[in-house]
Amino acid sequence: MMETMKLSNGIGLSAIQVGKPICILVFDTGKDFGILINPKITGVNGQARIKEGCLSLPGKKIEVDRYSEIRVRYYNLEGRLVEKDFFDLEAIVVQHEYAHFFGILIIDENPNGW
């Protein structure tokens, strides 16, 4: 998944986007990277509005409201349960990819921005 994400010039990817109906997301913002298995957002704070793109919608950018801070509980590659706080761009990317688990795209987040 990391290779597919990088080949597509993305900074995040959800397994569902590559035809795998499992709850795994990957991201690499250049500052931080991660592989989150069965993530669950357990806390949110702050606000951010950002123009987002999506590998599922090439060439489209839409303004989306997100939280600027989130707490996520997930399993890492070693199978350990982790709880971690994400901030700013990392928080936004995780929320974006997490939404794919529920069939939500950026056009669903802001239908008027399409």
Residues with catalytic function: 97
Report how far residue 77's alpha carbon sits from residue 1's, in angstroms, rounded to the nearest whole number.
Answer: 13
Report how far residue 23's alpha carbon sits from residue 3's, in angstroms, rounded to the nearest whole number.
Answer: 18
* 3-state DSSP assignment of residue 96: helix
Of the candidates 6, 110, 107, the residue with the CA atom closest to the CA atom of residue 60: 107
